[in-house]
Amino acid sequence: MAAHIAAVEAAYREVGNGTARVLNRQSLVEDLSPEVLRPRSFKIMGAMLLNAGYVGTVAYPAGYGRPLDFRIVLSSAESGEPLAIVEGEAITQWATASVTAVATRALSRPDSKVLGMIGTGRFAFDQPKAIASVRPIEEVRCYSRDPAKRADFVSRLSDQLPDIRVLAVERPEQAADGADILTTVTTANHPVISSESLSDGMHVNAIGMHYPGTREIDSDTMRRSRFFVDDVAQTFEEKGEFLIPLNEGIVDKGHIVSDLGTLVADRSGWHRKESDLTLFGSGGTAVEYIGVAACLYSAAEAAGIGVAI
């Protein structure tokens, strides 16, 4: 996990320093009706990391009620030579957890000890492990609507984090109450936590849906927050957490403090105040996927393991 986090942070630093080229997510959508919040679609995005020496594309179908079948084609940015085809859902889980860890290290208080989790699905499981690698987490509180899935999640996570207290809670407010960090990883269409449950000084990661009509965070939380994103242009296109309060007139486009690349490259000019409620909104970009794919390719190459071409 540490290697993945380092690779994602380095990839976003290239964005901040201007040595990356990014193709934001493009969607071929089957049904353009605004009433369909998550339509069937085929998505493609790409990134070129000039310092690292890699270029890649990411393609996958979404909205079909099946696991995300990612295909990442990795090539040399210097020669154009194809290097590897990386496939499977696991890499998306590692990349998503890694970008959360990068943002959490940059935005949360260094002494953060309590993590609240809302969502206990596939993409949630690696999140506490990644966050615990960048902050001194002592307790993880886990909530989801299904008690059986919640209990199973807590049992498996406890095995992975034996030195951390992992517990299930029965309401989302219990995950947030007194937490230093809160991460939401759900498929919800509507807010899963209210602003009243979030305290000043907390850091929140909203990692779930990335469709204009869906959101995990309410408008008042957006209004209160110092808001950071993985990519500004992509946020304007698809991140409901921001677009809904923007359309309501509660925030404007200047509400975004910085993108993650500018932040980790130390070019944002932002410095945390004790009372800041920070919010990171991420829908996923090719930057993190290519960063992790390149990390895996380099490790395989160093170990003399063949890679599918």
pLDDT per residue as tens digits for the range 255-276: 999 999 999 999 999 999 999 9
Phi, psi angle pair for 13, to nearest 5°:
-65, -35
Q: How far, in Å, CA of 128 to CA of 117, rounded?
A: 8
Q: Domains plus CATH for the chain?
A: 2-91+287-302 (3.30.1780.10), 99-285 (3.40.50.720)
Phi, psi angle pair for 228, to nearest 5°:
-125, 150
Its pTM stands at 0.94
pLDDT at 90 over 80: no
Give the model's pLDDT for residue 37.
75
Q: How far, in Å, CA of 282 to CA of 296, rounded?
A: 22
What's the pLDDT tens digit per position in 216-255? 999 999 999 999 999 999 999 999 999 999 999 999 999 9
pLDDT at 35 over 90: no
Contact 257, 228 (CB under 8 A): yes
305 burial type by CB count under 10 A (0-12 exposed, 13-18 middle, 19+ buried): exposed
pLDDT at 308 over 60: no
Q: How far, in Å, CA of 236 to CA of 139, rounded?
A: 35
What's the pLDDT tens digit per position in 105-120? 999 999 999 999 999 9
* Token code pair at residue 137: 């987490």
pLDDT at 39 over 50: yes
Q: How far, in Å, CA of 96 to CA of 288, rounded?
A: 8
